[in-house]
Structure 1
């Protein structure tokens, strides 16, 4: 663990194993090159997040990328998350162009620059896979969030990520059966599967954090002016079920109707969120807020 300019950088055990293996097999320079590429990639995320004023707790460095641990879980705009997610892969573009320029100028060894370019392409494309917590997974989550409720967004992206992680593991096993030893692919697949299984177990906590920060996001939406997205429910529907219909980039008015379809009440979303967070039981009906 290293602390630099107020940010903690934590090395994942996988990265340590990669360095040890590289040192034992004579590929230490290649490992250092990969680490440098990953570090620059993560600095791109860090610069974008800092530019938006995000509170960054630490940066976890992995052999194939990194993870920014921030406090802005579901509380910032989707646009900001998209920019931060894409800021990492974009670093590979200028690194590749710089390497090509140095090759053209004849600076350094051509073979090393070829390796540098290939490593950038490999890391950049891998991070764009639609698997959480990779950058592609975050982009996928942001885009799905424009059409689905936030609860369903984090649920579906977790399931998609776990399914694709299993696919990576199966690919590694298939290669092993055919006489290859894809240890790196297998380790990455297992890591992604475990990470997403843990994320799946943490979904209630993740969603609760979203509700806790909802007031801040609603203030941002109302400050700039926004169209209200109606949610129509019966008075018997629970608050917990209704909150799961909330979309991240929409402001909601909740129309409570009776069995005949007549409107009994119109509730601003703040009233529902506050009622739920102020101690109402998850199974309490929406009607408890106005009856």
Structure 2
């Protein structure tokens, strides 16, 4: 910011932050419409991150709608800037700058890198096909891959044409790579947070008469391994086949969740729930 002021580009930088602010307000208003609790919003030059209290306990549909609400703000701001320039209300060069800035921020945020909007949309999509634990793992790995590609891309002009390194891409790519490295390491914690919200929501899900999805497991499997099969978008009935016990047993997923969060060994066998 100091460098932009010294070089006469402070107005452009301020405009970028205003665009980012409106972008994030789109997320905030969408999240509030679903009753989410917003903990904080971090504003960054390339975008922002809205942290919510309900992370881990929200549906993929709501997550996707809140994620796309940000780039949609860039659409109307970019079109408005272009229109004001075309009608002669604003200087054409300034209108083009704002329109291009909105396009750049929207497209960048749609990259499949968590916690960018594209990463959250990817996460919501994966939730329909994978269990929650695998979704967390795949999100982290794809995000690390694209973050690394961004850093590599910053050096391509120097390697191919002998030009300079794109410092902005190096900084942003490194920030995203380190964020996702931490995210990958915190997957066990994120999964237990998911189970905590799952325990709270179990009674509500049953009260609404939600359709269930069956899981067939062996009594020798650990409680934690069964919990890792849970899908974000479904409520499960667990069919336990145990040759050493009473044959086939059916339990709601809440019993598995409570077993994992009870403070006892989550790696004990499912058959132990039946005494």
The TM-score normalised by the length of structure 1 is 0.90
1:285 lines up with 2:269 in the alignment: yes
Of 101, 109, 115 in structure 2, the residue corresponding to residue 127 of structure 1 is 109
Q: Give matches, 1:100-119, under 5 Å.
A: 100-119=82-101
Q: Equivalent residue for 2:121?
A: 139
- For 1:104 and 1:127, the matched residues in 2 are separated by 27
How far apart are 1:105 and its partner, in Å?
2.2
Q: Give matches, 1:32-43, under 5 Å.
A: 32-43=14-25
1:52 lines up with 2:34 in the alignment: yes
Q: 2:86·2:92 contact (CA, 8 Å) conserved in 1?
A: no
Q: Give matches, 1:217-256, under 5 Å.
A: 217-256=201-240
Q: CA RMSD in A?
A: 1.6
- For 2:249 and 2:127, the matched residues in 1 are separated by 28
Q: Equivalent residue for 1:23?
A: 5
| 2:114 counterpart SS class | coil
Q: Equivalent residue for 2:199?
A: 215
Q: 1:217 to 1:231 in 2, by over 3 A?
A: same
How far apart are 1:49 and its partner, in Å?
0.9
Q: 1:132·1:196 contact (CA, 8 Å) conserved in 2?
A: yes
- For 1:107 and 1:144, the matched residues in 2 are separated by 45
Q: 1:38 to 1:22 in 2, by over 3 A?
A: same
- For 2:125 and 2:13, the matched residues in 1 are separated by 34
- Tell me how many residue pairs correspond in the alignment: 273
1:160 lines up with 2:147 in the alignment: no
Q: Which runs of 4+ in 1 moved over 4 A?
A: none
How far apart are 1:113 and its partner, in Å?
0.4
Q: 1:57·1:70 contact (CA, 8 Å) conserved in 2?
A: yes
How far apart are 1:209 and its partner, in Å?
0.6
How far apart are 1:201 and its partner, in Å?
1.3
Q: 2:199·2:258 contact (CA, 8 Å) conserved in 1?
A: no
Q: Equivalent residue for 1:186?
A: 170
| 1:213 counterpart SS class | helix
| 1:249 counterpart SS class | coil
Q: 2:131·2:230 contact (CA, 8 Å) conserved in 1?
A: yes
How far apart are 1:127 and its partner, in Å?
0.2
The TM-score normalised by the length of structure 2 is 0.95
Q: 1:25 to 1:181 in 2, by over 3 A?
A: farther
1:67 lines up with 2:43 in the alignment: no
Q: 2:110·2:117 contact (CA, 8 Å) conserved in 1?
A: yes
Give the unaligned 5+ runs of structure 2: none
- For 2:247 and 2:142, the matched residues in 1 are separated by 38
